[in-house]
Amino acid sequence: MAEISQAALVGAWRLVSLESTDADGVVSRPFGADAIGQIVYHATGRMSAQIVRAARPRFASDDNVAAADGEAAAAWRGYVGYFGTYSVDAAAGIVTHHVEGAWFPNFEGGDVVRTCRVDGERLELGGPTPYGITLITWERIA
């Protein structure tokens, strides 16, 4: 991977695709082919990331606290999001997200390490996930 810099990451990025390859070489799109998302890197070293399955069913009630267990579980499984700080190892082509808060509590206080490549207005982040080796492609929006 080419060297990456913090300056190259700064900005907002829109999700283009998220593909995972499992141990058998099977490629999947865990959040669907039309998933939406955004990742933001700030020059101060702060970051946040969100990925959402498109067209998730709406809850029966507009009161999220009143959601039925099945509704809440389906919504939770169709979303991933966290925030914190980040650091860059330019020579290794690695960005590390230091997670402070997340939809999945077990991420909190830990690191999410991703290979990282910027090619013009495209950003590719890669690494292991529960779905296999995942490649997430983003496009710059700001």
pLDDT at 3 over 80: no
Q: Which domain holds residue 69?
A: 6-140
Rounded Cα gap, residues 33 and 24, in angstroms: 20
Residue 1: band (very low, low, confident or very high) from pLDDT cuts 50, 70, 90: very low
Residue 142: band (very low, low, confident or very high) from pLDDT cuts 50, 70, 90: low
Residues 7-39 have pLDDT tens digits of: 999 999 999 999 999 999 999 999 999 999 999
Residue 138: band (very low, low, confident or very high) from pLDDT cuts 50, 70, 90: very high
Pairing type for strands 111-119 and 46-52 reads unpaired
Which CATH number characterizes residue 28's domain? Answer: 2.40.128.280
CB atoms within 10 A of CB 86: 23
pLDDT at 2 over 90: no
Q: Where do the H-state alpha helices sit in 11-110? A: 69-77
- How many CA atoms, within 13 angstroms, populate the side-chain half-sphere of residue 104? 15
Could you identify the residue written with the tokens 């969100």?
A: 50
Q: Is position 1 within any domain?
A: no
Q: Is position 63 within any domain?
A: yes
Q: Are the C-beta atoms of residues 123 and 138 closer than 8 Å to each other?
A: yes
How many structural domains compose the chain? Answer: 1
Residues 64-80 have pLDDT tens digits of: 899 999 999 999 999 99
Could you identify the residue written with the tokens 């999700």?
A: 15
Q: What is the pTM of this model?
A: 0.91
Residues 84-112 have pLDDT tens digits of: 999 999 999 999 999 999 999 999 999 99
Residue 106 in 3-state DSSP? helix
